Chain A
Amino acid sequence: MDVALNENLPTTTQFNEGIIGQSSMLHKLDDQQKIYGLRARREALDALWKQGVSGNAVLKQHSEFIDHHIKKSFDECTESGHGFALVALGGYGRKELFPFSDIDLMVLYERKAKKNLQKVVDAILYPLWDAGLEVGHAVRTVKNCLADAKTDFFFQVAMLDARLLAGSQPLFDELIKKYTQKFIEGHRPEFLQEMLQYRTKRHTDYGNHTYLLEPHIKESRGGFRDYQAMMWTAQFIFGLHGLGDLKQAGILNKEELQSLEDAHDYLVRIRNRLHYVCGRKNDQLFFEHQEEMAQAFGFKNDKSRLAVEYFMREVYGHLREIRVGTDLFFEHVTEVLGHAPSAKGDKELEPGIEVRHGRIHLTTPNLLDSKPLLLMRLFAQSARSGVPIHHRTQKIVSSNLDLITEKQRHSRRMANSFLTLLADSSNPLLGLSSMLETGLLSVYIPEFSKVESLAQHDIYHVYTVDRHLLQVIAELQKLRQEESAVFSVVEEEHILFLAGLLHDIGKGFGSGHAERGADLGRIIGGRMGLADDELESLVFLIRNHLFLSHTALRRDLEDEEFIMRCAERVQTPKRLAMLYLLTTADARATGPSVWNEWKAALLQELYLKIALLLERSDLSANDQDKGKELGARWMQEKVSELLPENSDMDLDLLPEDYLLNFAPEIIVEHIKQSQYLVEKDVLLFHEEHQESWSLLLVTKDKPGLLAKIFGVLALHNLNVLAAQIFTWGDGTVVDTIEVSSAISLNYRDQNWHGLEQDLEMAVNQRLGLEHRLHNKLAPLRKTIGGTEKRLDAKIEIDNQSSEIYSIIEAYGHDRVGMLYEITRILSDFGINIFRARIGSRADQVVDVFYVLDYDGKKIKNREFQKELRQGLLFAVADE
């Protein structure tokens, strides 16, 4: 603006005319020396700043510089200045004058001095105006002041910083005395109420987060206003002036005092510099200024991070100090003045932790030494109940972080509490935020400290990494309702939430954060004692957390080949559901430019395409899918290589789907086993897996074979989870069936020999399945109550999704033997089942069958469809 003084000097008069017009002609040109001096101050201040004079000192010098000029102007009024007092208010009153801040100046006068008012005001204000300074001026008597303070809370607060610059001390004293009597004494609770109201409003107006992309240094959370509100309140309520007093009074400890002081000083330096950089009164750290600011503060780019990211990390860190410090202060004051919430909900939550006056307290802090788990339990209870933790208890946590040792980090009980907080609480964000702020989160997960307050210098990321991660948890929590259908597919909810919290943990070291994060995730998950498959899911989610969102925008979603590759990468519907939810939560928690309805629609389309493919597997049988044909041929070659020389097996008998479903070695094994069908009618192989047992059945095709198999399995208390049925060209049937036992979890308890015998009898039509099942189920039938939620029974016949097969979907309420009845009815209708997916989960069933009628055609006749639907509904519906 007006830094290049030397050239500007001669044109000052023109400049003045432009700004304030005629009135400026009233004062004499010899004032120009004064103006020159006022203007030069900014260069002088800049020089100080460069010399490393700290923030507050610069402000003080600036204030004193202005003081000096105003005093000089006032002294020149001599006689006519009697009965006046010049009062500095607000920031200027506190001697915290920023380069482009308003100079809050009040001309206080006695009534009898009114005749000289114009003269004094002109003498004081013109030089300031002429120097281009923003002057917030007011002319008042003591009576005016009191009246204004009554109606205007901001003025009332500004009066707290009143400082006499020049003129009548008695007049000033009178004002202060009356002000104190009228507003302070006996009005403390009202003041606090009003202060808290403005504070809340400010936080809503300027964003409740310290961590926004472009923080407002003055008004946002942890900014100057929060700090000042604390100082004003301390002065008003307790008569304490400055941080030192607060420490004396025991409200702050030494470390807190130091960090608040440091933070405030840092913010002062930022605001100072920001005013220079912008050349005007601007208190928001806009994106485009951040880089220049970082340079000015001496930060340098390095391999992994930009200078600006280092800089913003510091800024956020200091804002956080002030936010946490002032929050604790206001909680303290509220309590002292008896505004705390009522004691109505007081109770013990668990031994050592209780709710008092709407806050969670640690009852016996010395219990912590023997039971460090309590530290975690506090936050788990807070997240579960939605009740915040009392500030004193938070301080206790902060000062006991050394109790979390390597042993605690490996503790299963600690991990369980933490995972409950994350994935099984009504308000995980509440618990996590205070965990982050007390430092417990980064002590429990040391890897987390690397992303604390870490800024990302781009326009997408509104939050710092740590806050973003917490926000993702909050979004996941919301998705529970909003995407309940997808959520119900997820079984390992705690893994989904943990992935949400850790997915960006690899940030801050240049590109490849997903890979690095996946490695860290494995370490962290391992430490928490996750099972192997849980760990795999966690690592998968972190590694692929960008996959869906990148793909949805950049790839042709009509390209089946491509969807197939996605499906191969994701592997299971459960993982897909988790990845989809994580992707959605991640995008929603990043910022407004990343997520909108449009992108949501694309992402959902991708999700459904992959999901349906995973569900129906490769049976959407598209002939144009050359890749598949080639794959089958390649498999044939592999199999023939592995087969013994003398084998007379015709590999062309093996259907394509079958070839693509198994490893060559396994197919060779099947072929070997099928030789024994000469001696036996049924070959049964069983194997124990983690969640289920897997059966391989080799037999010859017969009408109603599948119904018989399912009937025998029901007799042996085995629930079918999934089944794949393959029929070779020569009538050899190879079925793989995943089962779990309804009565025992012990694999060795199962009577496998009996099962094989019954199967043998059943395929040879020597087992009365109908009556045996009826007798077996009789006692069960009565107990099937109506209390659980029932899925409506429904039969869908779909001729669209597959080119070759009709797809029958049976929705129903699971019960033992139902699968037997469905397959028996299909067999009665002469329908051949080529593939089945048994989607039992909880107690509802969606069974999918790929079928053809007795002529080997799709089921197209409407009458027949209706009859078939009726018949199946009979089996599926509840009795």
Chain B
Amino acid sequence: MKKIEAIIKPFKLDDVKEALNGIGIKGMTISEVKGYGRQKGHKEIYRGAEYIVDFIPKVKMEIIVDATQVDEIIETISKAAHTGKIGDGKIFVLPIEEVIRVRTGEKGKEAI
């Protein structure tokens, strides 16, 4: 089992969610996050006032899936979140040791 963590642009959330629904992914965790990578924060000056943007707002989505689905999901997210401009985001894949459904106590694949 793997966890896929994707950091994407906020306005792309609906597109990505829809695309993932399209390939049968129904569950995910979404959080509003801030950070920076290559798309550094920046400073704007407007009418003499400085506006410093240190961290850029992004959406983080976390999806736990069976290892066989990973490639398809990465492709789907990449396609849906792509604008071609800096700051489109990143996708991380992490190994998952165990998943337990609290209500039933099911483990592993069954619990996803």
Residues of B within 8 A of A555 (CB): 11
Our pick among A599, A602, A604 for the contact of B51 (Cβ within 8 Å) is A604
Distance in Å from the Cβ of B39 to the closest Cβ of chain A? 10
Cα distance A561–B34 in the bound complex, in angstroms: 25
Residues of B within 8 A of A486 (CB): 49
Residues of A within 8 A of B10 (CB): 553, 602
Distance in Å from the Cβ of B35 to the closest Cβ of chain A? 11
Our pick among A553, A839, A846 for the contact of B11 (Cβ within 8 Å) is A553
Residues 539-561 of A, flagged 1 when their CB comes within 8 A of B and 0 if not, give 00000000000000111111000
- Among B20-28, B52-60, B69-77, B97-105, the stretch in contact with A: B52-60
24 A–B contacts from the bound complex (CB under 8 Å): A485-B48, A485-B49, A488-B47, A554-B14, A556-B9, A556-B11, A556-B12, A556-B83, A558-B83, A597-B34, A598-B34, A598-B57, A599-B32, A599-B57, A601-B53, A601-B55, A601-B56, A601-B57, A602-B57, A604-B51, A611-B46, A612-B44, A615-B46, A844-B48
- Asked if A846 and B47 sit within 8 Å, CB to CB, the answer is yes
The reply to whether the CB of B85 lies closer than 8 angstroms to some CB of chain A is yes
Our pick among B32, B51, B87 for the contact of A608 (Cβ within 8 Å) is B51
- Interface set, chain A 238-278, CB cutoff 8 A to B: none
Q: How many residues in A have their beta carbons less than 8 Å from beta carbons of B?
A: 28
Residues of B within 8 A of A489 (CB): 47
The reply to whether the CB of A47 lies closer than 8 angstroms to some CB of chain B is no
Cα distance A489–B47 in the bound complex, in angstroms: 8
The reply to whether the CB of A811 lies closer than 8 angstroms to some CB of chain B is yes
Residues of B within 8 A of A770 (CB): none
8 A-B pairs closest in CB distance: A485-B49, A598-B32, A601-B57, A608-B44, A602-B57, A598-B57, A558-B85, A611-B46
Q: A602-B57, A612-B44 are in contact. Are A558 and B87 (CB under 8 A)?
A: yes
The reply to whether the CB of A605 lies closer than 8 angstroms to some CB of chain B is yes
19 further contact pairs, Cβ within 8 A, besides A485-B49, A558-B83: A485-B46, A485-B48, A486-B49, A488-B47, A553-B11, A554-B11, A573-B47, A598-B33, A598-B57, A599-B32, A601-B34, A602-B10, A608-B51, A611-B46, A612-B44, A612-B46, A615-B46, A615-B47, A846-B48
In the complex, the chain B residue whose C-beta lies closest to that of A557 is: B11
Q: Hey, which bits of chain B sit against chain A, CB under 8 A?
A: 9-12, 14, 32-34, 44, 46-49, 51, 53, 55-57, 83, 85, 87
Our pick among B14, B32, B49, B55 for the contact of A596 (Cβ within 8 Å) is B32
Residues of A within 8 A of B83 (CB): 556, 558
Residues of B within 8 A of A139 (CB): none
- Interface set, chain A 563-612, CB cutoff 8 A to B: 573, 596-599, 601-602, 604-605, 608, 611-612
Residues of B within 8 A of A608 (CB): 44, 46, 51
Residues of A within 8 A of B34 (CB): 597-598, 601
Interface of A is mostly: helix
Residues of A within 8 A of B85 (CB): 558
The reply to whether the CB of A791 lies closer than 8 angstroms to some CB of chain B is yes
- From B9, B34, B51, B87, name the one whose CB has the most chain A CB atoms within 10 angstroms: B51
Distance in Å from the Cβ of B30 to the closest Cβ of chain A? 12
Distance in Å from the Cβ of A794 to the closest Cβ of chain B? 9
Cα distance A839–B48 in the bound complex, in angstroms: 11
Distance in Å from the Cβ of B22 to the closest Cβ of chain A? 20
Residues of A within 8 A of B51 (CB): 604, 608
Residues of A within 8 A of B12 (CB): 556
Residues 470-510 of A, flagged 1 when their CB comes within 8 A of B and 0 if not, give 00000000000000011011000000000000000000000
- From B14, B47, B83, name the one whose CB has the most chain A CB atoms within 10 angstroms: B47
Cα distance A554–B10 in the bound complex, in angstroms: 7
Residues of B within 8 A of A811 (CB): 48
Residues of B within 8 A of A554 (CB): 11, 14
Cα distance A90–B48 in the bound complex, in angstroms: 64
In the complex, the chain A residue whose C-beta lies closest to that of B33 is: A598
Q: A556-B9, A558-B83 are in contact. Are A605 and B47 (CB under 8 A)?
A: no
In the complex, the chain A residue whose C-beta lies closest to that of B14 is: A554
Residues of A within 8 A of B46 (CB): 485, 608, 611-612, 615
Distance in Å from the Cβ of A604 to the closest Cβ of chain B? 7
Distance in Å from the Cβ of A131 to the closest Cβ of chain B? 34
Residues of B within 8 A of A558 (CB): 83, 85, 87
Cα distance A597–B53 in the bound complex, in angstroms: 12
Cα distance A839–B45 in the bound complex, in angstroms: 15
Cα distance A202–B51 in the bound complex, in angstroms: 41
Cα distance A633–B106 in the bound complex, in angstroms: 67
Residues of A within 8 A of B48 (CB): 485, 791, 811, 844, 846
Cα distance A873–B37 in the bound complex, in angstroms: 38
In the complex, the chain B residue whose C-beta lies closest to that of A604 is: B51
Distance in Å from the Cβ of A798 to the closest Cβ of chain B? 9
Distance in Å from the Cβ of A748 to the closest Cβ of chain B? 34
Cα distance A791–B48 in the bound complex, in angstroms: 9
Residues of B within 8 A of A599 (CB): 32, 57
Cα distance A486–B51 in the bound complex, in angstroms: 11
- Asked if A485 and B57 sit within 8 Å, CB to CB, the answer is no
Cα distance A573–B46 in the bound complex, in angstroms: 11
Cα distance A612–B47 in the bound complex, in angstroms: 9
Distance in Å from the Cβ of A608 to the closest Cβ of chain B? 5
Cα distance A839–B9 in the bound complex, in angstroms: 35
- Asked if B47 and A485 sit within 8 Å, CB to CB, the answer is yes
Residues of A within 8 A of B33 (CB): 598
Distance in Å from the Cβ of B17 to the closest Cβ of chain A? 13
Cα distance A839–B47 in the bound complex, in angstroms: 9
Cα distance A545–B54 in the bound complex, in angstroms: 27
Distance in Å from the Cβ of A361 to the closest Cβ of chain B? 44
Cα distance A86–B58 in the bound complex, in angstroms: 65
Residues of A within 8 A of B87 (CB): 558
Residues of B within 8 A of A602 (CB): 10, 57
Distance in Å from the Cβ of B8 to the closest Cβ of chain A? 12
In the complex, the chain A residue whose C-beta lies closest to that of B88 is: A558
Our pick among B14, B49, B53 for the contact of A605 (Cβ within 8 Å) is B53
Distance in Å from the Cβ of A559 to the closest Cβ of chain B? 8
Distance in Å from the Cβ of B59 to the closest Cβ of chain A? 9
Cα distance A839–B51 in the bound complex, in angstroms: 19
Cα distance A553–B46 in the bound complex, in angstroms: 22
Residues of B within 8 A of A597 (CB): 34
In the complex, the chain B residue whose C-beta lies closest to that of A608 is: B44
In the complex, the chain A residue whose C-beta lies closest to that of B31 is: A598
